[in-house]
Structure 1
Amino acid sequence: MRPKYGSPAILTSALVIAAILWAVAPVPLRNLVYHGYERFRAPVDTLAADLGQVQDYGALRHTDTNRLIEEGRALSRENARLRIELDSLEHITRYLENLETLMSMEKPPGYRPEYVRVIRRDLSSWFETIRLDKGSAHGIKPGHAVVFGGGAVGRVREVSKHTCVADLITSPGFRLTIQTVGDDRPITFQGSGQVPGSALTAEVNHIPLDVRLHPQSPIPLYTTGLGGPFPRGILIGYLVFLENQTDGLFQKGKVRLDPGIRSVREACVLVPEEATQD
């Protein structure tokens, strides 16, 4: 009896031939096919995310009324707390602006927050990315930083008109210069991938030998604002392990990242004000 879907040998041969044709195809043709696929895939991902929100809305309509009341009260308390923090931050901002004016200091470049939703998440052995629901039509460009409440999330890699793709800081190819509080010496950060069921960690290298770590007091690490898309002072994670490098000149270690990176649904892209003016 003839197989219904073809023999494995025929399927394997077809895949090999397709791979060879793709490898020898001109680069412009491959780019055209890739971007065409991305243009088709982007609206599909957006539609799937919108349908998910409709399902969530339907589920909320059938939620117990008392539970909704309790969640509303908890949300009101959280909003009140955030308003107090916002007032404090505005006071600090005005104080710093007055100091900059008195000292005739040049203001650092500002950023416009562009709030986005995560509509797709891709985790592979080489790249760990998220697709966001805004793109070049909103001023987003490759290289812009993506952050959320727990600190840094990633960096925009590809942009279409209405969506963009960002590399997560957990991606093995993600590198960044960071520093500790009160110490401007640079430390090299590199993502090390996500292992299901384990804590999110990353690698750090070139840590000065005089940095000491207490087991009960992890050291917070922040962006430097130099040579990268992130402004100074964005939290990356906490240093939880240290050991000497093989060259004996520096230390290396592990950084514990915010577990919310795994399930982030809303984030913020930092668009430089210069890009906004353009």
Structure 2
Amino acid sequence: MAVYRRGTRHRFLLVLLVLSSITVITVDVRGGGGGAMESVRRAARDAFAPVQSAADEVINPVGDFFGGLFRYGHIKAENARLRRQLADARGKANGASSAERERDELLALQKLTFAGDVPTVAARVVATSPSNFQLTVEIDKGLPTGIEKGMPVVTGAGLVGRVIAVSQERATVLLITDPAFNVGIRLSGSGDVGVARGNGVRQPLPVDLVDVGTKVTGGEVVVTSGLQGSVFPAGIPVGKVRSAKVQPGRLQQEVSIDPLVDLSRLDFIKVLLWQPKADTP
């Protein structure tokens, strides 16, 4: 019963406050700007000021919360729109860059000054080696175009590798960086010869059999030697000398070269339809 009486008293006070508020508002609307009524209005405003402040403390955070939600949604949508625009711009820029690179590669393939009169077949790289055990690429041309196992593969910059397998529609090319690859080379400065071999992805190619008395200059171009029995014709650019060291007591220099072809960005290549001449008995 005590709880019921307290609840009834609270409801009575609430109703009284509401009625008083209505009365003050009515008086405020109808009354003038001074006199006794003005005193009543001021007293009423002072009496209800704590109630209004409490209401503002409840209502304002709620309003700020919903306003914040609206602004957050707007900012999130705008951010997503800007991200889409940036992605589109990057896609267009990358597409333009890729198209320009392909154009340059195709133009370079038309100017194989080192190929001489050797016939060629242009092809596109369609796949790379799925593992690190063998560094190869696959091209979209095969037997019907005249490609055979062992033929050299080049770009406008120089040697890429050689064909190690061929089918009707595809061919597999072993890259010059594969550890199983080797090629006879000639130093452009001295004319001395050696053998370059693969040493892994993005690694320089070591060159063996360079005599300690041979002058080797950093940056000089190294080309295929084309010696008797070589699997490559002479004069194909292979790389540039990175370093040359002579160790005490050694009969050979430690020479390394950087490939001229960027093997990580192969798109178009040419296969030289060339096979070494059989030795005459």
TM-score w.r.t. structure 1 length? 0.56
Q: CA separation of 1:204/1:212 partners in 2, compared to 1, >3 Å: closer, same or farther? A: same
TM-score w.r.t. structure 2 length? 0.55
Task: Give the partner amino acid of 2:225.
Answer: T
Correspondence for 2:237 among 235, 238, 246 = 235
Q: Tell me what 1:203 maps to.
A: 206
SS at match of 1:253: strand
Task: Give the partner amino acid of 1:153.
Answer: V
Instruction: Give yes or no for the alignment of 1:141 onto 2:142.
Output: no
Q: Tell me what 1:218 maps to.
A: 219
Instruction: Give yes or no for the alignment of 1:255 onto 2:257.
Output: yes
Q: CA separation of 1:204/1:78 partners in 2, compared to 1, >3 Å: closer, same or farther? A: closer
**Equivalences for residues 99-248 of structure 1 within 5 A:** 110-122=117-129, 124-181=131-188, 183-194=190-201, 199-214=202-217, 217-226=218-227, 227-244=229-246, 248=250
Q: CA separation of 1:193/1:182 partners in 2, compared to 1, >3 Å: closer, same or farther? A: same
Q: Tell me what 1:268 maps to.
A: 270
Q: Which has the larger radius of gyration?
A: 2
Q: CA separation of 1:254/1:269 partners in 2, compared to 1, >3 Å: closer, same or farther? A: same
How far apart in 2 are the matches of 1:239 and 1:266?
Answer: 25
Contact 1:109-1:272 within 8 A present in 2 as well:
no
Q: CA separation of 1:67/1:200 partners in 2, compared to 1, >3 Å: closer, same or farther? A: same
SS at match of 2:206: strand
Q: Tell me what 1:18 maps to.
A: none
Deviations along 1:127-186, one digit per CA (max 9) or x if unpaired, are 100111011111000000000122100000001011110100000000111011154432
- Structure 2 residue runs without a partner (length 5+): 1-87
Q: CA separation of 1:148/1:78 partners in 2, compared to 1, >3 Å: closer, same or farther? A: closer
Task: Give the partner amino acid of 2:243.
Answer: F
How far apart in 1 are the matches of 2:206 and 2:226?
Answer: 19
Task: Give the partner amino acid of 2:135.
Answer: E
Contact 2:190-2:214 within 8 A present in 1 as well:
no
Identity of aligned residues (%): 25
What is the RMSD of the two structures over their aligned residues, measured on CA atoms?
A: 3.9
How far apart in 2 are the matches of 1:273 and 1:166?
Answer: 15
Number of aligned positions between the proteins: 185
Contact 2:161-2:175 within 8 A present in 1 as well:
yes
Q: CA separation of 1:229/1:123 partners in 2, compared to 1, >3 Å: closer, same or farther? A: farther
- Structure 1 residue runs without a partner (length 5+): 1-61, 94-107
Deviations along 1:201-228, one digit per CA (max 9) or x if unpaired, are 11111112123345xx412110012233
**Runs of 4+ deviating beyond 6 Å:** none
SS at match of 1:272: coil
Q: Tell me what 2:20 maps to.
A: none
How far apart in 2 are the matches of 1:133 and 1:246?
Answer: 49
Kindly state the Cα deviation for residue 247 of structure 1 after the two structures are TM-superposed.
6.1
